[in-house]
Amino acid sequence: MIAHARRPDWRTALLDTIYRLPADYVPPRLVSTSRTGIQAGFEVRREVIRDLRALAAASRAADAGIAVWSSYRSYGEQAGAFDLWVRTGGYRDALRKSARPGHSEHQLGTAIDFRSADALKAPWDYADWGKTKPGRWMGENAWRYGFILSYPQGASAETCYGYEPWHYRYVGRELAAEIQASGSTLRRYLWEHFASVELDDPQPEP
């Protein structure tokens, strides 16, 4: 497994089943989502706030309001989340549905799992959240606000994970527009343009 340098670039750091963040990596400048007009109780990198606020307002204006289900998760919290998936469905199933600790985009402080604003229900408890009004609106518009869907449908061979219509990663409007125009998945795009430039020596998995 390959660990990124201590200070990975939050925009371009590639995280998948191979690349991971150091266990002690905590993003600088974590702030509460209460500043976005969505809801309090979650943290993201400060760089995300302005566009998250704009995204939330635009979704409400389109009558497709979104809210946050989950955002920043520490290495330890991700370890707990992964263990829970292992206990409920087994290790192989967990690998498809969740990232092992260090491999999650949530540890960057820029990934958000969204839900519908009008129902306090996990997005994975829908047949396909991507087909709900908020999910569809996000699929069409999130990139305009700098958010890219990390794990689109039918792309698991390339993204390492199953379809997650709720999981978006913020990369800034400029890079998001480039990725959207390329038609590529986030992982492939980062791999082709930015991989291997900021890596520590390979370290054994803990």
Which residues of this protein are in contact with Zn ion, per CB under 5 A?
113, 167
Residue 196 Cβ, how far from Zn ion at the closest point, in Å?
25
Residues in CB range of 171: below 8 A, 6 or more apart: 11, 12, 110, 146, 147, 148, 179, 186
Judged by CB, which is closer to Zn ion: 128, or 200? 128
DSSP letter assigned to residue 37: T
**Position of minimal CB gap to Zn ion:** 167
Q: Closest approach of Cβ 82 to Zn ion, in Å?
A: 12
Q: Is residue 22 classed as helix, strand or coil in its secondary structure?
A: coil
- Is the CB of residue 138 less than 8 Å from the CB of residue 59? yes
Decide whether 5 or 17 has the Cβ nearer to Zn ion: 17
CA distance 50 to 94: 33
Task: State how far the alpha carbon of 126 is from the alpha carbons of 119, 132, 148, 151, in Å.
Answer: 11, 9, 21, 17
Taking the complex as a whole, the smallest distance from the CB of residue 66 to Zn ion amounts, in Å, to: 14
- In the complex with Zn ion, the residue whose CB is nearer, 47 or 113, is 113
Please, which residue, 152 or 196, has the CB nearer to Zn ion? 152
Rounded to whole angstroms, the Cα distance separating 162 from 79 reads 19
Least Å distance, CB 61 to Zn ion, is: 25
Rounded to a whole number of angstroms, the minimum distance from the CB of residue 106 to Zn ion is 6
Q: Rounded distance, CA 69 to CA 115, Å?
A: 6
Give the residue from 90, 93, 94, 116 showing the smallest Cα distance to 104: 94
Residue among 114 and 145 whose Cβ is closer to Zn ion: 114
